[in-house]
Structure 1
Amino acid sequence: MHETRLRRIREKMDELGLDALLVTKEVNSLYLCGFGEDSRLLVTGSDAVLITDSRYTEEAEAKVRGATVHTFKSDMLEELAVLLGERGVKTLGFEARSVTVAALGEMEKKLSGTALKPTDGLVEELRIVKDAAEVERMREAIAVADAALADALPYLTPGVTEADMAAELRYRLFKRGASEVSFPPIIGFGPTSSLPHAKPGSRRLGENDNVQFDWGAVVNHYCSDCSRVFFVGEPDEEILRIHEIVSEADRRAREGVRPGVSLKEIDALARSFIEREGYGQYFGHGLGHGVGLEVHEAPRVSPKSADTAREGMVFTIEAGIYLPGKGGVRVEDMVLVTADGCEVLTRFPYDTTPNKAFKE
């Protein structure tokens, strides 16, 4: 697996005339060789070297595939210069989006005998299409997230605070086997739900509130991402209505997913329906984003997206309507692009009654 990924990145290096590529983004190193924490991966035409320090040597040697492990003693860049010289590297590509101006200045001083060439998205482009093992890891993350929310929902009763629910959900995620949360859980009660990235606070659940959950788990480095809405008592009629609109918009978008369709068109399927229903001005974000080693990665599903759906892509579909001061609704699923359409990976029930959903 990792050998195949390294071969593909070498093909891209050849196209750009690079003798080597320095991978500095941790998840890209993880993708290519199986380890990335606080390390750098040097890929040349003939070998790959993970450069790390003594804190990670033992772990890296156990996990790295397709590369050797080099533990630097004092100055990483000085030792990198030696490695480059030994391999006759004249042109070194670097990941422009993960190298700061200050770090680039240091590289220019200490790697003065090597031409430095910025690159953008070389590894990310490979990561856009998932293989079967990656999809299986995301299924595992989804299962953990689903079970955790089901465990937490019995605590969703009038009087509980958003912060209490967030703490309960985080606890249940770890209890069910998550190594980390994909992102801090987004939980909004009533008016707070109009904030797309609501931070759980001291607001208590009312007798007739709507509740917005957006949560995810990380399992074996891969993320999940899902949003669901629940109603307590008899919520506002307009909130119920926009839930129906958002759900239908998502359904229309899912039905339009298939290889060869532009992601801009998929966004438009949901957005145009919401606009016809009179709520276009309240749907301000893109319809979705890729999910994998990062919870937000390429591709983007938005009006400005230049991407086209390809078999093996995994991205979210998450239309939303947010009414300031009143409340909002977002329903989100992860989908896998298949040969003739898409598979919805997220499985949590759409039932909006908490005591029914957690019994599914």
Structure 2
Amino acid sequence: MFANPFTDEELGNRLETVRAAMAERRLDMVLLSTPENIFYLTGLDHWGYFAPHLLVVPPEGEMVLITRQMERVSIERQVRNALFQGHADNETAADLAVRFLKDSLVAKDRSRAVLKAVVAEIEEQSDGAMRIGVETWSSGHSYGFGHALRESLSDVHWVDITGLVDELRLVKSPAEQALMRKAAAISDAAAAAAIDAINDGAAERDVVAECHATMIRAGGEVPGFGPFIRPGPRLGEEHATWGNDTYRAGEPVFIELSGCVSRYHAPLGRLVHVGSIREEDARMAEVAGQAFDAVLGALRHGTRACDVYAAWQAVVDEAGLAHHRRHHCGYCVGIGFPPSWTGGNRVTGLRHDSDLEIHEGMTFHILSWLMGTGKGDFFVSNAVLLGPGGAEVLTKTPLGPTVKE
């Protein structure tokens, strides 16, 4: 959260790919508002995304980033491939965006070149209306923001491009894969610290404090989520974390966390048992491991997400757990801003009904979740990269069962 991690060549290649997708959809301009997508194209990494950001992507020339004026210094230091337009706090990003589009970037010479290219394409259209793509399903595109744009700019064809850049982000470049590996090493260090701190009578807050401190000292930055560390009786509280209690012998402790390096995440999950583990849970740990390995074997270039899920479910069924179904056995992961490491406001999961095609270079958080089966409980998860030689598990923390005396 202090430096742009990408080379000009890396950013340039991404922009070219986005513009190729724009050309396929006959778009004259794209307005991006998803923090992860703005970061992907510019490298802007800060907490200012709580306020609307709008990245204007023309068919050629420099992009323009619109947000609060007070973000000027961060943007000038981090962003090398976009002009900056800032608004005061007595107006909104939509106000400035409308002026920007209406005035056609007349303030800067380089922007005039962009305008001429856009106008030339507009004049070729029979109705003379500009086709502008917007992410209607985005944390940065509120109802009020979208309404202001549409009401103020009537002679425009608005096109929903939700997912256009998100899909391009699924396959990671070598530079991105290197960041994922660094994040995975921090995940392992943080998990080791948390596991070491867990014992009978350990305070929940002390455990997570050790985890957080280790994560930061190992080179990590603020992750999109968590860490989620909580006792077994509170396992069903999805996306909840530590409380004010202590851990007790005979109870499991749920751990799910991710290191973060330059906004890239490599999550892992473990179940730690305090004092002892039930025999049925130990047996379920074996099944969870086998099902996890089945997913690794099924992750191949060109296969579909539903086939990967089917491989996981087949192991579960064979173990006598045909009644147990999950909404997915993992999901794509990489760039993430708070409040999530999933890459935005949707989850691209390995579901039973997904036709998502798997490609080399994709990274996943693979979960083998066998909790609430009625025949024992266990789960394990890891960050996984699909490389040229197959699935590579990036996080190295032992799978368990882990019993802390």
Same fold by TM-score greater than 0.5: yes
Question: What's 2:160 paired with?
Answer: 118
**TM-fit CA distance, 1:337:** 1.1
**Aligned partners of 1:68, 1:239: CA distance in 2, in Å?**
57
Deviations 1:54-78 (A, max 9, x none): 2111111111132222223555334
Does residue 3 (structure 1) correspond to residue 35 (structure 2)? The answer is no
Secondary structure at the counterpart of residue 112 of structure 1? coil
Change (3 A) 1:19 1:194: closer
**Aligned partners of 1:173, 1:219: CA distance in 2, in Å?**
10
Change (3 A) 1:34 1:199: closer
**Aligned partners of 1:58, 1:330: CA distance in 2, in Å?**
45
Amino acid at match of 1:353: T
Contact 1:2-1:65 at 8 Å conserved across structures: no
Change (3 A) 1:42 1:139: same
Question: What's 1:339 paired with?
Answer: 388
Does residue 239 (structure 1) correspond to residue 319 (structure 2)? The answer is no
Structure 1 residue ranges without an equivalent (≥5): none
Amino acid at match of 1:334: A
**TM-fit CA distance, 1:320:** 0.7
Q: CA RMSD in A?
A: 2.5
Does residue 83 (structure 1) correspond to residue 100 (structure 2)? The answer is yes
Change (3 A) 1:314 1:59: same
**TM-fit CA distance, 1:194:** 5.7
Correspondence for 2:270 among 206, 228, 233:
228
Correspondence for 1:108 among 127, 136, 150:
150
Correspondence for 1:170 among 212, 220, 237:
212
**Aligned partners of 2:210, 2:327: CA distance in 1, in Å?**
28
Change (3 A) 1:103 1:21: same
Amino acid at match of 2:36: V
Question: What's 2:76 paired with?
Answer: 61
Does residue 31 (structure 1) correspond to residue 20 (structure 2)? The answer is no
Amino acid at match of 2:81: G
Aligned residue runs from structure 1 range 138-153, under 5 A: 138-153=180-195
More deviation, 140-149/311-320: 140-149
Aligned residue runs from structure 1 range 1-360, under 5 A: 1-35=10-44, 37=49, 38=51, 39-47=53-61, 48-73=63-88, 74-85=91-102, 86=104, 87=115, 88=119, 90-98=130-138, 99-193=141-235, 197=239, 199-294=241-336, 295-297=341-343, 299-323=348-372, 328-353=377-402
Q: How many residues align?
A: 356
Change (3 A) 1:162 1:271: farther
**TM-fit CA distance, 1:189:** 3.2
Contact 1:194-1:326 at 8 Å conserved across structures: no
Deviations 1:98-134 (A, max 9, x none): 2333322111122234332222211101101000111
Percent sequence identity over aligned pairs: 28
Deviations 1:241-288 (A, max 9, x none): 111111110011112211011111111111121122122434433100
Amino acid at match of 2:71: Y
Change (3 A) 1:335 1:134: same
Amino acid at match of 1:54: Q
Contact 2:332-2:363 at 8 Å conserved across structures: yes
Secondary structure at the counterpart of residue 279 of structure 1? coil
**Aligned partners of 2:148, 2:171: CA distance in 1, in Å?**
34
Amino acid at match of 2:20: E
Change (3 A) 1:154 1:13: same
**Aligned partners of 2:92, 2:295: CA distance in 1, in Å?**
51
Secondary structure at the counterpart of residue 323 of structure 1? coil
Change (3 A) 1:95 1:190: closer
Contact 2:277-2:403 at 8 Å conserved across structures: no
Change (3 A) 1:198 1:81: closer
**TM-fit CA distance, 1:322:** 1.4
Change (3 A) 1:22 1:190: closer
Secondary structure at the counterpart of residue 323 of structure 2? helix
Contact 1:190-1:327 at 8 Å conserved across structures: no
Amino acid at match of 1:25: T
Secondary structure at the counterpart of residue 229 of structure 2? strand
Contact 1:20-1:45 at 8 Å conserved across structures: yes
Structure 2 residue ranges without an equivalent (≥5): 1-9, 105-114, 123-129
**Aligned partners of 1:179, 1:276: CA distance in 2, in Å?**
41
Amino acid at match of 1:80: A
**TM-fit CA distance, 1:230:** 2.5
Give TM-score, length-normalised by structure 2.
0.81
Secondary structure at the counterpart of residue 172 of structure 2? coil
Change (3 A) 1:75 1:335: closer
Give TM-score, length-normalised by structure 1.
0.90
**TM-fit CA distance, 1:45:** 0.8
**Aligned partners of 2:334, 2:220: CA distance in 1, in Å?**
15
More deviation, 238-247/334-343: 334-343
